[in-house]
Structure 1
Amino acid sequence: MNTGSTAPKVLIVGAGPTGLTLGINLLRAGVPCRVIDKLPERQPHSRALGLHARTLEIFDAMGVLEAVRAEARPLARIRVHGEKGPLLDLEFGDLTSPFPELLCCPQPRLEAVLEQRYRRLGGELWRGAELLEASQDGSGVTAVVRRDGQETVLGTQLLVGADGAHSRVRDLLGLPFEGHDYREHFLLADVDWTPPDLADDAFHGFMLAEGNLAAIPMPEGWRLVISENGDPDDEDGEPRLEAFQERLRAALGEQVPVPERARWMSRFTIQRRLVSHYRRNRILLAGDACHVQSPLGAQGMNTGIGDAFNLAWKLVLFCRGYGGGKLLDSYQQERRPVAEDMLRGVDALSRASLVRARALRGARDSLIKLAGGRPQMTRRLVRRASQLDVHYRHSPLVDAGPDAEMGWRHQGPLPGDRVPDAVLVSQRDGGERRVQALLRQPLHHLLVQLGEEPDHRSRVILHALLSRLPDEYLNELRVTVISRGDLELDPPRGAMARAVHLWRDEHGAFEAAFGDASRLWLMRPDGHLAYRAPLTDADYLFAYLERMLRGA
C-alpha cells in the first residue's frame, strides 16, 4: 500500500459538474485539492442538459461561461402543449439576470469545459481511482484509494463526496437516503431530426392522453423523452425507436416526418430522495449524493452546482483557520432546505404531468392555460425555475444588523438573498462594471452605497470605516464605494489602495435595486447578501466581520 506523496487540503470524490465546480472554486482561492473518479474516462452520454440563469452567473464568476456557451444551445422559453395545442409559454428574456436564458448543454460537454478549467488552474484529477475507505479524526481525513491496481493512502483536511446517487462516501458514512421511486418509466433518445413545426429556441413539453413527450433542441439534433405506457419492456432490452415515432405523431400529427434513427437511446426510472445529513465532521456531501429527483424542470444538475458554489468559500475560510465547525454546519443549514423545496416542486410537477384520468387532464390543462394568461405568475415561475429566488434568510451566517425593525426592510435584498445585478461606471476609467462581476474575485465584497450628494457626515463615516479596516481583513474583503456622481476621496494607502474601488451609479440602476439611501451591503463570495445596515451603523459591520474573519 502506497502513501500519497502530496496531501491536498480537500479531496473531492466525483468528477461530475458538482465535483469539478467545487474544485475550480477552491483553486481560484488558492486552496489545493484533488478530484478522484471511479470511472476511467468521462461518460459519453447523460440525461442532464439544462443550465439555468443562476448557474450561468456562477459560471461567469468561475471564468467558464463563454466556453460553456460555445458547447451549448440557448433556449428562450419553455412551451407547454396540451392535447388541443399550446397552453403556456415561460419566457426567460424577462429575468432580472445578466444571463436571461436557458442553455442546453449536454453534461459530457460541460464536464469537458470544467475539467479543462480545473486543470489549467493546476488541479489534479485521478481517473480510475476508487474510494475504498475513509476515516477521520479531529485533525483530518484518511482515505484509501485503489488506482491502477494499487491501494494508496491519502491524508487530507476535508473530504467531499460528489459521487452521485450511488455515493460511496454516503454509504461509508451510513447516512439514510430516504424517498421513493416513481412507478413511471421513461425512454430517452438523441436524434438527428429537423421538426417542421417546432420552434428551435424552446424546450417543448407535450402532455397527451397517450403519455408525455419532451422535445428539446440540442447543439446538434434533438433530445426526445417519453413516458412509457403500462409495464415497460424487459429493462435489459433496448428501447424501440418506434415508441418515439408514435408519440411524435400523436403530438404533431400523422404526417409529421419522424426521425429514422437515434444516436443514443436509454431507459430510466425517476426517484425522489434526500440524504439525512450533508456533513459528518470533516466529510461532506454535495450534488446527487445528497438529492435525486425527476429531470423535469432541469433542477438536479443546477442544484448540485449551487451546492458546490455555496460550499467552496466556506471550505476556503475553514482551511485558512476561520469559522470553525459553525461555518461548516451552515452548509447543510443553507442548502438542505433548498433541496427540500426543489424536491417538492419537481414532485408536484411530475405528478401533474403524469395524470391519466381524462377529467383530471382537462382540469390540469385549464389551470395551466389560466396561469399562462397571468404575466406576473409566469414571471414568478420562471424565476423559481431559474433558481434566482434561492435564499438563505434563516441562515445563522447572515445578519440584518440593527435595521431589522426599520422601515426600509423591503428596499433592496434581505440578508441571505442573492444580490441583484446592476450596471455601474468606474470612476477610475469610465468603463462599465457589473455588481455580479465582482464574484470573479472569490472574496467578500463590501458595497458602500452613498446618497446622490453625500453630506459631510457621510464622508467622515466613510473615511473612518476605511481607516478602521484591519489589513488582515483585506485578504478576504474588497470595498466598492458607489455614489450617484464623482466622489472625491483621499487616496487610500497601503493594502487599502488595492482593495477600494469607486463606482458611479450613473443611470440609477443600483438605486433601483437597492433603495436610495446611504447603506452598507456585504456580499459573500457566492453572491448572497451576508449583512446590511445603514452607513451610520458601521460598528455592527465590524462586529460581524470579527465573527467571520477572526480565527476559529
Structure 2
Amino acid sequence: MAQGQGQVLIVGAGPSGLVLALWLQALGVEVRIVDAASGPGTTSRALAVQARTLELYRQLDLTAPVLDGGYAVGAFNIWAEGEHRARIELGAIGAGLTPYPFLTIFPQDRHERLLETRLLDAGVRVERNCSLLGFEETRGEVLARLGHADGREEVCAARYIIGCDGARSSVRNIIGAGFPGGTYRQVFYVADIEGESPALNGELHIDLDESDILAVFAMAPRGRARLVGTVRDERAEHPENLSFADVSARAIDNLMISVSRVNWFSTYRVHHRVADRFRLGRAFLVGDACHIHSPAGGQGMNTGIGDAINLAWKLAAVLRDGAPDSLLDSYEAERRPFARRLVHTTDRAFNFITADGAVAEVVRTGVVPRIMPMMARVPVAREYFFRTISQTVLHYRHAPLNDGSAGKVHGGDRLPWVAINGGDNFEPLARPGWQAHVYGEVRPEAANWCAAHRVHLRQYPWRDGFRAAGLARDAFYLLRPDTYVALAAGTPDPLLFDGYLRANGLAL
C-alpha cells in the first residue's frame, strides 16, 4: 500500500535538494527528502558561493549565516611560471552591481550542515540510508519504491518526484533522459592545506605555466587554502595511487608554499554533460543530475541552487495556488538553455587553460597575464566578467513566462540592484511571493490592481541611481517569487497585467 507522505518527494540531500526542500516548505508545500548516504558530506567539495546565490538566500535568512561562517575573497592574483604578474580587486569590479561584490568561500560540508539544520528546524528531517529503487506515474501521482538500510521496502505516493541525486542520478536513468557530453582527459588533484606562502594571503591565486594550471583558493585570511591543480605525464594513468607528495612540487617551487599540514587530498576527472530533458511528466531533474561541467569559475553548486529556487516557486504555484501543470514546463525552458551556455563557456575556458602546444603555452604564460589587468581597467569588460562569474548576468528574456521591457530592463531579467540610504531595493525581495516595484510615481490604476490581486507594491522616489541601473521612471515591474522580472511595463495598464496572468494561467 502506498503511503502519501508529501506532495513532493526529493531524492538527494546535497545543496540543491536541501535548498529545494527549504523553499518548498517555506512556500507551504509538504516535502519528503531522502538520501542514500548515511550522513551529510564530510569533505569540502564545492567552495564558492556566488553573489547571485547570496542575493537569493536573503529570502530565507540564509545570507548572514553563510557570510558569518564563510570567508570573503576580495581579490585574485595571476602568476605565470612562478612570477606574480597582476592583482585584480573583485570589490572594485562588482561595486554598484550587487551588495556582495566578492567571492564567498563556504565549504560544501559546512554549507550542507547549515541547510539541513534549517530544514530540521522547519520540521523536515532528511531520511538517510534510503534509496530510490524505482517509480511509476499513475492517476495523477508518482508511486516511488524506496529501500531502507535494514532491507525494508515501501511505496511512497507523491504528486511530483525531483531528482537531486547527482551525476549518477537514479531519477534521470529511470525517465530515460540522455546525458550527452564527455570526460576531459586531464586528471586533477585537490588538496586542503595549511602552511605559509605569499599565495596564502587570503586571496585567490592562479598560476599558469607551460604545461599546468594551479589555483589557490583561500579558506582563511592567512595560512589555509585549497589547491587545485592538474596531474600530468605518466602519473595521470593511475591517479588513485597518488599522494600529495607526488604532485606538490610545482606548488612548493612556483608559489613558494611551505606545507605544514594536508587536511584532505583527492584526485578526479572532470565531466561536461547536459541532460537532453529536465522533465518527464511528474519527474524533474535538478543540479548535477541534469548538468555537470568543469570547475572553472566555481559555478556548479550555485547553478544547482538556482535550479532548485526556480522550480520551487512554480511547484508551489501549481500545488498551492492552482496554477496549471503547464507552468512547470517553464523550468526546463529557462534552466536548460542556461546550463548549455554554462557548459559551453566553462568548456572553452577549461580547454584554453589546459591546452598543449607551443602557441597555447605562449598565450597562457605571456599574453593572458598582460591582457587581464588591462581588461580589468575597462569598465564594460570588467563588469561583464564579474556579472558572468557572479551569475548576476543570468536572465530568462527568451523564455515564454516573461514579457515586456521598460528602460533597459526586460521581462526575465534579474532586477537591477541599487543602494538606497544605507539599504537597497532588494530589501523587499526577502519576502517570498509576487510583488511589484515602481521607481517614481505610482499610478492609481496600478495601485488598485496590486491591491485587488494582493500583490505587495513597493514605491521608491525617483533618483538618478535608478536610471544609471537601467530602470525607467514611473514604470511598473512585476516580480516573480524568485525575484526575476516577470513583466516590465513602461506604461502601467491593468489590462496588460491581466493579459499576462491569463496567458500564463496564473491567479494571484
So what's the TM-score if we normalise by structure 2?
0.92
The code of the aligned residue for 1:481 comes to Q
Q: Tell me what 1:25 maps to.
A: 23
Task: Kindly indicate whether residue 492 of structure 2 is the aligned counterpart of residue 528 of structure 1.
Answer: no
Determine the structure 2 residue equivalent to 1:300.
300
Between the aligned partners of 2:449 and 2:237, the Cα distance in structure 1 is 71
Read off the aligned partner of 2:127 and give its amino acid letter: W
| Deviation, structure 1 residue 3 | 4.2
SS at match of 1:373: helix
Q: Given that residues 235 and 267 in structure 1 are in contact (C-alpha distance below 8 angstroms), is that contact kept between their aligned partners in structure 2?
A: no
Residues 548 and 440 (structure 1), Cα distance of their counterparts in 2 relative to 1, 3 Å cut: farther
Shift of 1:28: 1.2
1:69 to 67, 70, 81: 67
Distance verdict in 2 for CA 1:535–1:359, change over 3 Å:
closer
Match of residue 315 from structure 1: 315
Percent identity for Structure 1 against Structure 2: 29
Q: What's the CA shift string for 1:517-544, capped at 9, x where partnerless?
A: 2110011111211101124433201221
Aligned equivalent of 2:327: 327
Aligned to 2:426: 436
Tell me which moved more, 146-155 or 300-309: 146-155
Structure 1: which amino acid aligns with 2:336?
Answer: R
> 1:87-117 CA deviation, whole Å, 9 max, x = no partner?
4545321311011111111100000111111
Does residue 389 (structure 1) correspond to residue 393 (structure 2)? The answer is: yes
User: How many matched pairs?
Assistant: 498
SS at structure 1 position matched to 2:172 = helix
Distance in 2 of aligned mates of 1:17 and 1:284: 16
Residue 130 of structure 2 aligns with which residue?
129
Q: Could you say what secondary structure the match of 1:541 adopts?
A: helix
Shift of 1:371: 3.6
The answer for the alignment partner of 1:513 in structure 2 is: 469
Answer yes or no: is the 8 Å Cα contact 1:51–1:103 preserved in 2: yes
Aligned in 2, Cα 1:87/1:136: closer, same or farther, shift over 3 Å?
farther
Looking at structure 2, the residues matched to 92 and 389 of structure 1 have their Cα atoms a distance apart, in angstroms, of 16
Say whether 1:224 aligns with 2:227.
yes
Q: 1:424-480, CA deviations, whole angstroms, 9 ceiling, x for partnerless residues?
A: 46xxxxxx65322222221111113334xxxxxx6xxx3333334575x32xx3111
Q: Distance in 2 between matches of 1:469 and 1:80?
A: 51
Q: Which deviations, in whole Å up to 9, do the C-alpha atoms of 1:351-392 show, x marking residues without a partner? A: 111123233211234442224202232332121111110010
Equivalent-residue separation in structure 2 for 1:467 and 1:105 (angstroms): 44
1:465 and 2:461 aligned: no
The change in CA–CA distance for 1:468 and 1:270 in structure 2 (over 3 A counts) is closer
1:550–1:381 distance in 2 versus 1, CA, 3 Å: closer
Cα deviation for residue 339 of structure 1 reads 0.7
Q: CA deviation at 1:183?
A: 0.6
List alignment gaps of at least 5 residues for structure 1: 426-431, 452-457, 485-506
> Helix, strand or coil for the counterpart of 2:346?
helix
Equivalent residues of 1:399, 1:530 under 8 A apart = yes
Of 207-216 and 155-164, deviating more is 207-216
**Other-structure match for 1:414:** 410
Distance of 1:392 and 1:546 partners within structure 2: 20
Q: Match for residue 338 of structure 1?
A: 338
Give the equivalent residue in structure 2 for 1:81. Answer: 79
Equivalent residues of 2:433, 2:480 under 8 A apart = yes
Could you tell me how far 1:193 is from its partner in structure 2?
Answer: 1.4
**Alignment partners' CA distance in 2, 1:234 and 1:516:** 58
How much does 1:508 deviate? 4.2
Q: Does 1:447 align with 2:437?
A: yes
- What is the aligned counterpart of 1:543 among 493, 499, 505? 499
Give the distance between the partners of 2:66 and 2:492, measured in 1 at CA.
43
Aligned to 1:455: none
Q: CA shift at 1:200, angstroms?
A: 2.4
Whose radius of gyration is greater, 1 or 2?
1
Secondary structure of 2:495's match?
helix
Distance 1:43 1:517 in 2: 48
Contact 2:231-2:247 at 8 Å conserved across structures: no
Q: Output the amino acid matched with 2:184.
A: Y
What is the CA RMSD across the aligned residues, in angstroms?
2.2
Q: How far does the alpha carbon of each residue in 1:167-225 deviate from its partner, in whole angstroms, 9 at most, with x for none?
A: 01101111111101111101111112122x12523211111225221111114821112
The aligned counterpart of 1:495 is: none
In the alignment, the residues of structure 2 paired with residue 413 and residue 293 of structure 1 have an alpha-carbon distance, to the nearest angstrom, of 30
Q: Distance in 2 between matches of 1:78 and 1:433?
A: 28
Match of 2:202 in 1: 201
Structure 1, 539-548 or 41-50: larger mean CA deviation = 539-548
Query: Which of 190, 203, 218 pairs up with 1:188?
Result: 190
**CA apart distance, 1:420:** 1.1
Structure 2 stretches lacking a partner, 5+ long: none
* 1:247 matches 2:230: no
Tell me which amino acid in the other structure corresponds to 2:205: H
Q: 1:422 is matched by which residue type in structure 2? A: V
Query: Cα distance 1:90–1:55, how it changes in 2: closer, same or farther (>3 A)?
Result: farther
